[in-house]
Amino acid sequence: MRERYGTTILDTAIRLLVPFYLLYAVYVLVHGHYSPGGGFQAGVTLAASILLVNMVQGDEVTWGVNKQTAVILASIGTFIYAGIGILALFWGGNFLDYGVLPLGEIEPKVRALGTLGIETGVTLGVMGTFIVIFNLLTGREE
């Protein structure tokens, strides 16, 4: 998507809507560890908002995530997810049994913090992967 797709109306609408998309994605991530879902949905919402800006503004986009940054974010998300799971193994638990982590809190709070960490890793991984896939399909080269 090298050329600019949007008009002035689309550009204005995107500038008004994208902050709310980003805020909603953070809400889904933070609320997701108390209810079903969270990480995947937040990652898709973050990626969709970034890709929407890229489609409307083309190469004139002033912010966003390029292909190298998206790969780094996907890798960091994977390492966060795996790292929390492996840390539980060191304290005698099973993989992703974050209730055994020595965070100094009662077990339900430790599990909530562990779930939030896992969901954050999933969010970064999904967001980075979707941005990379979009850039590859559209032929956008850095």
Within a domain: 99: yes
Classify burial at 29, counting beta carbons within 10 Å of its beta carbon; exposed 0-12, middle 13-18, buried 19 or more.
buried
Per-residue pLDDT band for 23 (boundaries 50, 70, 90) equals very high
Query: What whole-number distance in Å separates Cα of residue 53 and Cα of residue 46?
Result: 11
Q: Would 45 be classed as within a structural domain? A: yes
- pTM, to two decimals: 0.83
The string of pLDDT tens digits covering residues 100-119 is 778 777 877 788 888 888 88
Q: What ranges in the chain are assigned the alpha helix state H?
A: 8-32, 39-57, 67-90, 107-138
Residue 119 maps to a domain: yes
Quote the crossing angle between the two packed helices 39-57 and 107-138, to the nearest 10°: 30
How many domains does the chain contain in total?
Answer: 1
Whether residue 1 is contained in a domain is answered as: no
User: By residue range, what is the domain housing residue 49?
Assistant: 8-138
Q: What percent of the chain has pLDDT over 70?
A: 87
Q: Extract the tokens encoding 34.
A: 């108390």
pLDDT confidence tier of residue 34, bands split at 50, 70 and 90: low
On whether residue 115 sits in a domain, the answer given is yes
Residue of 46 and 139 predicted with greater confidence = 46
Q: With beta carbons less than 8 A apart as the criterion, state whether 118 and 84 touch.
A: yes
Contact between 42 and 26 under an 8 Å Cβ cutoff? The reply is yes
**Token representation of residue 15:** 């500038």
- Name every residue whose Cβ is closer than 8 Å to that of residue 30 and which is 6 or more positions away in sequence: 116
- Assess if residue 2 is contained within a domain: no
